[in-house]
Chains A and B, each alone.
Chain A
Amino acid sequence: MKRRTIGIVDYGVGNQASVWRALHRLGYRCRVSSDPAKLDETDILVLPGVGSFPAAMEQLHAHDLVDYLRQSARGGKPFVGLCLGMQLLAEKSREHGLTAGLGLIPGEVVPFPGGGWHIGWNAIEHVGDDPLFAQCDGMAMYFNHSFIFDAPQEYRVYAARTDTRFPVGVRRGNLVGMQFHPEKSQDAGQALLRTLVEGLCP
């Protein structure tokens, strides 16, 4: 089996070290970089993220990565956004005002239903009929966020529940976003990461 190489986008505000370790532990080669030439040499891009949406977009612009990420995604390269990295795929966010995102998947990032935070372990529910996501249906993942990506129904692949049901996973072709932290979700997260890498890479 081909050993995949994963490009972890380093834009200064992510938890790229944790993502690197989780993927490395699964046996993948990983490159953490902000250099498009180095990221181009990989099989799949992973965009991690911890922080606020405006600060993250500011850093993506500062690292001159916005156009590169848009071109890579539109060119068909497999691309996974994790937590804030998923939200950055949206058209815009209402966190601390209105900020434009990468605009790769329709929809906007809005406050968590009812306000407050969604912190801790929660089960993910498979939405739709995409078989890539069926395997991890019902598994508990670690969440840590206060905004959600309100994507249209046709792009939703996972949901979670508190008092209400809300999207926590999206897919548009080669693009996938996960609102939780699979890299810190113990065995369940490892299973999902492997599924995503193997399922998205040709």
Chain B
Amino acid sequence: MIKKRLVGVVTVRGGWAVQSFGYGRYLPLGRPEVLVQNLDRWGADEIMLQCIDRSGGDIGPDFDLLDRVARLGIATPLIYSGGIRNANDARASVNIGADRVCVDALLHDNPDAVAQMGYLLGAQAVIAALPLSVVDGAVLWRDYRIGRDAPLSPEVIALLNEGAVSEALLIDHAHEGHPGAFDPAILDCGLADNVPLIAFGGISDTQAMKGLLKRDAIVAIAVGNFLSYREHAVQAYKEALFDVPVRPAHYNRTVYS
């Protein structure tokens, strides 16, 4: 049976891997390549490399970083996120070494381009990132570039409900980086029940992970900061998640050239 996934997230700002707190405070961690190698060696199910300052500056994807990461020869599926402006950027990311791409700002600016990306790469290669929060009982979608919250647009809901992209990464942006703070209320954001969801932001303890992974709609959880606080964090989480359908902890020997 298909397993639910633990996605390791490496957040990059100004070329450096950072811990991110609530989309507003950042602490340096080091070279992104080192964190990616750790997650690969620890057996993450997927690795997401997200460059959070590319769309705000309209400078496009960080192909140099993606190339450096790809050259490591990692054997774990790689999701690239950051600055993707169109289908050509997405295709170039895959050609360099990404297996999938994730878009956020483009969903605000040009949903048609996201649909085109799904046609070119296959919808399975495209993920929609949706930073969300609950305000006065309503789930609102943030444009992080300008700090504005609004309901999910009908175009984005249609993209996901009709399968033009494969999965929605629902980010609890207000609680991101804060242990045990993920708000499950953001999962009720108006998408159809059959849209596969990845939960992200403040998911740190295994009880919360189990609760999320036991929901039918959730196919994966993404973890960022909390994988950086100890060695073999992926295996440690997986060993604790023995009663939910995730791939068992995997220990391997990796020799990088």
* Nearest CB in chain A: distance from B87 CB, A: 10
- The answer to whether A51 and B166 touch across the interface, beta carbons within 8 angstroms, is no
Q: Could you say which residues of chain A place their CB within 8 Å of the CB of B76?
A: 184, 186
Distance in angstroms from B115 CB to nearest chain A CB is 12
CB closest chain-A residue, reference B195: A116
CB-CB under 8 A from B166, the residues of chain A are: 117, 119, 146
Which residues 90-106 of B sit at the A interface, judged by CB distance below 8 A? 91, 94-100
B75 contacts across to A, CB distance below 8 A: 22, 25, 183-187, 189-190
Q: Which residues of B contact A13 (CB under 8 A)?
A: 91, 94, 120-121
Contact among A116, A121, A181 for B3, CB-based, below 8 A: A121
B86 to chain A, nearest CB (A): 15
Binary A-proximity of B213-224 (CB < 8 A = 1, otherwise 0): 000000110000
Count class of interface residues, chain B: 35 or more
How would residues 62 to 80 of chain B score, 1 for a CB under 8 Å from any chain A CB and 0 otherwise?
0000000011010111100
Q: List 15 A-B contacts (CB under 8 A).
A: A17-B96, A18-B99, A25-B257, A55-B120, A117-B196, A119-B196, A121-B2, A121-B45, A122-B2, A146-B122, A181-B77, A185-B75, A186-B43, A186-B76, A187-B250
**Residue positions of B touching A, CB distance < 8 A:** 1-5, 40, 43, 45, 70-71, 73, 75-78, 91, 94-100, 119-125, 163, 166-167, 194, 196, 219-220, 247, 250, 252, 257
Known: A117-B167, A144-B100. 11 other contacts (CB 8 A): A13-B120, A15-B94, A15-B99, A16-B95, A18-B97, A21-B70, A51-B91, A51-B125, A160-B2, A184-B77, A186-B40
Interface positions of A (Cβ within 8 A of B): 12-18, 21-22, 24-25, 50-52, 55, 84, 96, 116-123, 140, 142-146, 160-162, 181, 183-187, 189-190
